[in-house]
Each structure stands twice: as structure tokens, then as C-alpha cells.
Structure 1
């Protein structure tokens, strides 16, 4: 039997997709002995079932993209909402100043501390970063961190927006504008914004960003537990470069926390101790030797190298028999008298348990505590080579 075609839409009226679907289904009538779909249903019933499911999905999608629910905002409205977000207390740290070479200046308004979404550091991870502690109105080891920063940029093939002298000046001026006397300075170099391509060839302006984070409290040298991380360690080419691709680091930290610890410990491709999620690892052997893994496959920690220099005092007074940097096996590490994590954010943090094994006596060791005190004293009253006064 012939079927009549659906009437055309009246002039000036648009046939909605859902109406088209119903009109089309009217032309699919059941017939005796009709073809059967794979699932045992006649094709027309299968078509109805499929159309109904599709209609449900469309309805659900419609509720998500309803223009009433997603407003189109003006620039001023975006600014108002950024202010509201800042005032909501959603951030757990206090950002007191930011420099951006994109807008060519410093802002002390946290709501304005944003970067372009098409910056390749955001969507491709093509950027590097570094940090420096602020203690009693002085920047600690800024020169050493800038050297590593620029070396990382060279390895990452990021052209500099300014020379070293101007970068240094910008960083100090940003801290000065913040009026922060204790906290940290973090800074990034990126190939910059330009597009969403993989290649950075379309990025015309490499970018420098810096943020000052106020933190009046000092880290505590309390003992912690660590675990052997199951997250694959980064290859040496990327591990020695302080780039923004820190997903493996973040997952290693999360894995440690999920297992009741402070962080995870990476092993290198030969099974030797490498580093923590974002800190170096140190040991005190039964022979009273301060031991750290070699830096050839891991990030060369500025704080760790400073600790090694300060530890010479403990060799001189006999509390340490020596200082060494070499391959460290897991067994040797777990059998050490002391174990510690070393980094700019924690300074020196004792480890009292690694996986299921207690380290030494299972309590914070005297060498770790002494090294914590030495680095803290160095931050407060060390030589000009490691302390730069901020001209507030």
C-alpha cells in the first residue's frame, strides 16, 4: 500500500528536528511478514526505539546548553564574577601580586591574576617555572634559581622575552609591590599565546609571569611516611628540566596521600632511589655519612645543594663522617639511620617510615633536625650570595 508523504511545512515555519523525526516515523508502517531487525524486532519498531532514545539524549543535551542557563557575559560582568569567586574563599593561598608580560605590569588584585587560555603553557605544557623563598624581606637563593630557570627555558626551546638582568629586576619589583616579607615567589616562562596548535611557531610573544604567595607560617620538621610510587618516573631529559608538565609529580603526591603518607618516592630506570614528587631525598647511613642520589637523572635541587654545603659544618664537628652523592638502592635507603625530604617548600622534612619499614628508630633523627635549623638560619642571616634584600 502506498503511503502519503508528510505535508510540507507551512511557509515561514521551520520544522523542528523532533517534528521531522515524528513525520518520518509515520511513513514507517508495520506490515505482515516485514523485515526483522537483528535484535528480533521489526525494523520499524527498532527505528521507533532508536528515535526515542535519540530524542531523550537530545532533551538531556538541551537542558545542558539551554541559553537561559549559560549567560553571555560582558567584560565587566566577567570581572564582577571573578571578584565574587575571589571573595568566596575558594582559594587556599593568599596571592598578593602578579606580573604578566602580556599586560606589561604588576597587579595586586587577585581577580586579575589570569593568563590567556591559548598560552601554550596552558594547553600544551610548553613552559618552565621556578621559585624562590621570601624570608624576612629577603629573597633566598634567587640567583641560583634564576640560573636553573633560564637553563630549563633553553632546554625547552623557549625564547626569552627579556634578558636575565630585566627578568631579575621584574621578579624583585613584583615582590616589592606585594609588600610580602614572608612567603614565596613563583615564576614561569612560556612560549606564549597565539593559537591552539601543537607547534609554537605561531606564538609571537614569549611570556613571563610571576606570582607572590604570602605564607606567614614556617614548615614544621615533623616526621612523615612515604611510599614507593607506582607512577612511572619521568625520563632524565624531562626530569632535569623544571617544566610545567607535573602530572606525574601530582599523581605521585596524591598516591602517597591516598596511602596514608606524605608523598611517593620515585625509583629510576635501574631501580635506584631517584626523588620525591617535588623534593630531593637524603639519607644518613649507619656510618654517619650524608648520602643523596646523583643529580644526573633528577632535578638538581637548589635547596638540596645548599643543604650539602651547610652540612660540611657537621663533618667538621664530627657529627657526620662525610658527604656523598651516588646511586642509592632501596635496601640501603630503608636501612639508613635517617631519611629526609629536601625542598624549598618543606626545607628539610624527616621520614620515619618508608612503605611498611620504619627508618632508624622510627622517630625524627638529629641530623635532619640540625639541617633544618641550619637552612632556616641561612635563610634568615646567610651571606649576600644567598640573600637579596627587597627594596620595599
Structure 2
């Protein structure tokens, strides 16, 4: 089969799966999620994504009904059930199923998994970005299912003919609508601190690791919109696009001044992915 869905132990084609109306995700978006990619039926950076998933659930006091190892085995088993080895692997846990009530129900949490064919993006492609005021809540470090601000930002991005929106709180750049954003200036890789205003991206962590490997200085402090526009390179990172650079922000040209550094990082990140997901 091409795609696959899972809900509390039952699985089938995504278009045929059904869930209870009283799952709290329907009323409150009461849950957390994580996602990565697989190649050759091998899930990339699974341990890191599972750690972040459990951390997000813990911060919302959601009790995942599996251990980390049990969940990893469920995901590994699921990716082997689909025909294509290259998949977008997504999973989420919701607080449970109960009649609508804001307070927590005394019911077990629900586990969802969805798989669909997908490849990581070509890192040679340049991105056009827009900037938007960050009006989200103050717990952006939790990978919650409450994504309406990102949905609205994604729609504005599409209407502008761009690929991603950069959020900012006043003059401070935080992150993008569904990725992290960093800059390179004078040979230094600068990225926002992993505080409550950004999601600690797995791809962000990997590119920091590669910078340190190549002795590229890393500065994890907040940067401004002015610094963003004047950067030698603007870098967007996510699980599906390890290191994409921007060529335009709000219609103005940006970046393109440190191609050697970018190529070195892109090659290293791609090789890491290919090595970890090679055929078993």
C-alpha cells in the first residue's frame, strides 16, 4: 500500500481510517506530534524525535501509553508495511477520548501514526520568504497540535508566492511557520536560542553539530530583522529540508554571499542522512 494510518493499534489506508468524534483533538487540539522521514524503510534521527515527542507530551502532562522503545518499535514496524521506502513519518498523541470538558479526562491517551510517500527536498533550491509578527502563545518549545497561527502564516506565504514565513516578536526573529531560521554573517552561524519562543528543531541541532565539526563558530543568541536582511546567508532548516537558503525576503534580495560554507554544510547533512538510512 502507498500510505498507511494507525489509531490505537488499528491500521489501514489513510482515506479509510476513522476516529471517534470525542477524541480531544477534535475539540481542543489537545495533543502533541512529531515527524521525520524514512528512506529504505529506515526512519531518520528517530531517537532524537522520540525524545522531543516525550518532552512535549510531558510539558502538557499527557501520559504516552508506551515506553520510548515500544513506540520506536511500532513506528519501525509501520514503515515496513508500506510499499515505498521513502516516507513522511508522522505521529501524534492526544489526551484521550471523552465527552467535551476542558479539564483532563481520566482516560488513556490515543496514538495516531500516518505514513505517506515523500522525499526530502532538494537543498539547491532557493526559498522566498515573508516576515510576519509572531502572535503565537509563549510555549513554542512544545510541538503542540494547536497550529492555527502557522496555518494562517502558510496561507499568507502561498498567497505571496513564497515558500516560508519568518516570525518575529517586535524586532527579534524567532523561527519560521514550520521550520527554524538562522543566519551566517562574517563566517559565524547565528541561530536563536532554544528557549520557549522556538521549537528546538532536530535539523537545527544537526546543522549546529556540523558547524562545530567544521570549526564554524556558532552563536546561539537572538538576532534582529535588520541582521536577517543583512546576513551573508539566511538558512531555513527542518526535517524535510536540512539546509535551504533564502534568496528573497519581503521582495528584497538576501544572502548568496557564503556559498562555500553552505555547500559544505549541505553535503555533510545529506551524507549523514544517506548513511543513517542506507539499506539494511
Give me the TM-score of the superposition, normalised by structure 2: 0.91
The answer as to 2:188 corresponding to 1:294 is no
The answer as to 2:244 corresponding to 1:349 is yes
Q: CA deviation at 1:301?
A: 0.1
The corresponding residue for 1:283 is 183
Residues 329-363 of structure 1 deviation map (CA, whole Å, 9 limit, x = unaligned):
111111111111100122221101112432134x8
The answer to whether the 8 A contact 1:224-1:349 is kept is yes
The answer as to 2:98 corresponding to 1:194 is yes
SS at match of 1:236: coil
Q: Distance in 2 between matches of 1:115 and 1:365?
A: 48
The answer to whether the 8 A contact 2:38-2:87 is kept is yes
Q: CA deviation at 1:370?
A: 3.1
The corresponding residue for 1:98 is 5
Q: Identify, as 1 or 2, the structure richer in helix.
A: 1
The corresponding residue for 2:254 is 359
SS at match of 1:199: coil
The answer to whether the 8 A contact 1:158-1:191 is kept is yes
Q: Identify, as 1 or 2, the structure richer in strand.
A: 2
Moved over 6 A (4+): none
Q: Which runs of 5+ in 1 are unaligned?
A: 1-93
The answer as to 2:220 corresponding to 1:313 is no
What is the number of equivalent residue pairs in this alignment?
278
The answer as to 2:78 corresponding to 1:177 is no
The answer as to 2:234 corresponding to 1:339 is yes
SS at match of 1:129: strand
What does 1:87-236 correspond to in 2, within 5 Å? 96-101=3-8, 104-107=9-12, 109-201=13-105, 204-215=107-118, 217-221=119-123, 222-230=125-133, 232-236=134-138
SS at match of 1:332: helix
SS at match of 1:244: coil
Computing the radius of gyration from Cα coordinates, the structure with the larger value is 1
Q: Distance in 1 between matches of 2:231 and 2:187?
A: 9
Q: Distance in 2 between matches of 1:179 and 1:388?
A: 17
The corresponding residue for 1:328 is 223
What does 1:252-291 correspond to in 2, within 5 Å? 252-268=153-169, 271-285=171-185, 287-291=186-190
The corresponding residue for 1:53 is none
Give me the TM-score of the superposition, normalised by structure 1: 0.66
Q: CA deviation at 1:95?
A: 5.4
The answer to whether the 8 A contact 1:255-1:263 is kept is no
The answer to whether the 8 A contact 1:281-1:339 is kept is yes
SS at match of 2:73: helix
Q: Distance in 2 between matches of 1:137 and 1:171?
A: 10
The corresponding residue for 1:7 is none
The corresponding residue for 1:370 is 264
The answer to whether the 8 A contact 1:142-1:388 is kept is no
The corresponding residue for 1:248 is 149
Q: Distance in 2 between matches of 1:113 and 1:366?
A: 47
Tell which has more relative contact order, 1 or 2 (C-alpha 8 A, sep 6+): 2
Q: Which runs of 5+ in 2 are unaligned?
A: none
The answer to whether the 8 A contact 1:139-1:389 is kept is no
